[in-house]
Amino acid sequence: MSARNAFYAQSGGVTAVINASACGVIETARQHPDKIANVYAGRNGIIGALTEDLIDTSRESAQAIAALRHTPSGGFGSCRYKLKSLEQNKREYERLIEVFKAHDIGYFFYNGGGDSADTCYKISQLSETMGYPVQAIHVPKTVDNDLPITDNCPGFGSVAKYIAVSTLEASFDVRSMAKTSTKLFVIEVMGRHAGWIAAAGGLVEDYDIPVVILFPEVEFDQEKFLASVKEKVDKYDFCTVVVSEGTHWPDGRFLAEQGTRDSFGHAQLGGAAPVVANMVKDALGHKFHWAVADYLQRAARHLASKSDVEQAYAVGKAGVEFAIAGENAIMPAIVRTSNNPYAWKVGKAPLSEVANVEKMMPMEFITEDGFGITAACREYLIPLIQGEDYPPYKNGMPDYVTLENVAVPRKLSTDFELK
C-alpha cells in the first residue's frame, strides 16, 4: 500500500504540552515516509478539516517542529466545536470524507479531551458506516485529568506542578505578612467538574502550609468551611484556600457563575476566589488576597513537569506507531507501572470506552472532612510533577516558536458553512 497523508488537529482548551504531542506525531510520521506521506494539520482544529483549511507541516523545518516540544498553546490553532452524531448532522461527516478524499487522508489524529474522544470515535467508524477507509487515533490531552482508563492525562502534570509551586510560593508570602496584614490567601484553579487540579494545591501541606481545598466533588458547606479556615488560622495565624472553579452549592449552583456558556454548552466558570475570600472576611474578619490563575496555569510551559512533557510526546509518537501498525479507534494511554521510583509505559485504550466518560477524583483521595487530600492522593500526584523541563530563553524570555502554518492548496471548489 502506498503512503497516505495524515490529518492532525488540536481540540478544546490547549495546554502547556499539547504541542509536545504534535511534535511527537510529526517527528514520528517523518520517520515513516513509506506509510505517511505528509502530516496536514487542521487550522483551528477540526474546523480546518471542515473548511478545507489544512496546514502543510512539511513546510516547517525540523528545528521548528522540535521547538513545538517546548512551546505552550496550540501551534496550529484549536477550537471548541463538537461534531453531532451521524444521524443528527450527516453533512459534517460527508464533508469530512470529501476533504479527506481530496487530500488522501488515511490517518486521523485528534488531540483533545473527552468531547474530542467522542468525535474521534465517530470518525473511526466512518470506514464502516460511510465506506471511507480512515484510521482514527485519539491523542489524549486535558489539564482536567478527567479521561478514563489512562492513569493521567498529558497536560495535567504541568498544571499540577504549576498550581503546587504557585500555591507554595504565595503561601510563603502570606505567612510572611500574617502578623499585621494578609492572613488568608485564596487561589482559584481550573478543572471544571473534576478536582484534580485543586488536589495539586494540597501538596503544599508537606511544607507545613495550612490549606483548605474546595473540590467540585464535594458539595460546598459554608459552615464547615468557615470552621475549617478558623481552625487553621487559630493554629498557624494564616491559611491558604484552593478553590476549584467547579465548586458548587448543594443545589448545583457554582460559587461564582458568570452566566455565560461555551459553545459546548458548558457554563463558563470563574470568580469563585473573590466570593470565598469575602465570605471569610465577613465571617472572621481576616484581611485577604486572592488570585485567579486562569490561562496562566494551563499555559505555563516555563514550569512544565518533565514527566508530563515526556508523556505528551510519547502519546503522540505512540499514536502514529499504532496507526502504522493498523490500529483504529484507540487512544494511547499512560500506564503506571511503579510509584517509587516512578515508571510508566504507553498502553492502548479502546475509544468506545473513553468517549464521553468523565473521571472524577476517587473519594478515597479526599480526606473525610472534604477539605484535603489523602496519602493515596499524594502518592498518585507526586510522580506526575517530577522533573523540570525548562524552555530555552533568549533576551530573558522563553524562545517559543510560532510556526509558518502555510496552507495546503485547496482542491475542492465547494465551501462549507460552519453550523
- One residue of 100, 121, 185, 220 binding a copy of itself per CB under 8 A: 185
List helix spans (H) across 46-113.
46-50, 62-67, 90-102
C-alpha cell at position 267 = 457554563
The yes or no reply on residue 313 touching a copy of itself (CB under 8 A) is no
The yes or no reply on residue 262 touching a copy of itself (CB under 8 A) is yes
3-class SS of residue 258: strand
Min separation Cβ 379 and a copy of itself, Å: 12
Q: What are phi and psi of 339, to 5 degrees?
A: -90, -40
Min separation Cβ 58 and a copy of itself, Å: 21
Can you say whether residue 94 is alpha, beta or left, with left for phi > 0 and alpha for psi between -120 and 50 degrees? alpha
The yes or no reply on residue 304 touching a copy of itself (CB under 8 A) is no
The yes or no reply on residue 176 touching a copy of itself (CB under 8 A) is yes
Number of residues that bind a copy of itself (CB under 8 A): 78
Min separation Cβ 35 and a copy of itself, Å: 29
List helix spans (H) across 300-400.
306-324, 351-354, 375-381
> In 10 A of CB 258, how many CB atoms?
11
Whose CA is closest to 109, among 309, 405, 320? 320
Whose CA is closest to 78, among 244, 259, 263? 263
- The residues annotated as belonging to the active site are 144
DSSP strand pairing (342-350 vs 330-339): antiparallel
Are the beta carbons of 401 and 80 closer than 8 angstroms? no
Question: Residue 87, exposed/middle/buried by CB under 10 A (0-12, 13-18, 19+)?
Answer: exposed
Residues 384-403 that bind a copy of itself (CB under 8 A): 385-388, 390, 393, 395-398, 400, 402
Q: Which stretch binds a copy of itself (CB under 8 A): 9-17, 29-37, 54-62, 86-94?
A: 9-17
Closest to a copy of itself by CB, 127 or 405: 405
The yes or no reply on residue 175 touching a copy of itself (CB under 8 A) is yes
Q: Which stretch binds a copy of itself (CB under 8 A): 27-35, 128-136, 170-178, 314-322?
A: 170-178
Q: Which stretch binds a copy of itself (CB under 8 A): 10-18, 225-233, 317-325, 367-375?
A: 10-18
- One residue of 41, 68, 83, 303 binding a copy of itself per CB under 8 A: 303
Closest to a copy of itself by CB, 10 or 228: 10
Residues 191-210 that bind a copy of itself (CB under 8 A): 203, 206-208
- One residue of 28, 71, 111, 135 binding a copy of itself per CB under 8 A: 71
- One residue of 234, 294, 369, 379 binding a copy of itself per CB under 8 A: 294
Question: Helix 306-324 crosses helix 18-30 at what angle (to 10 degrees)?
Answer: 40
Whose CA is closest to 42, among 58, 30, 53? 53
The yes or no reply on residue 379 touching a copy of itself (CB under 8 A) is no
Are the beta carbons of 320 and 21 closer than 8 angstroms? no
Whose CA is closest to 109, among 57, 34, 51? 57
C-alpha cell at position 77 = 490553532
The yes or no reply on residue 219 touching a copy of itself (CB under 8 A) is no
Min separation Cβ 349 and a copy of itself, Å: 26
Residues 331-360 that bind a copy of itself (CB under 8 A): none
Q: Which stretch binds a copy of itself (CB under 8 A): 77-85, 109-117, 125-133, 345-353?
A: 77-85
The C-alpha atoms of residue 123 and residue 264 are separated, in whole angstroms, by: 19
- One residue of 260, 338, 413, 414 binding a copy of itself per CB under 8 A: 260
Min separation Cβ 200 and a copy of itself, Å: 10
Strands (E), 99-183: 105-112, 135-140
Residues 94-153 that bind a copy of itself (CB under 8 A): none
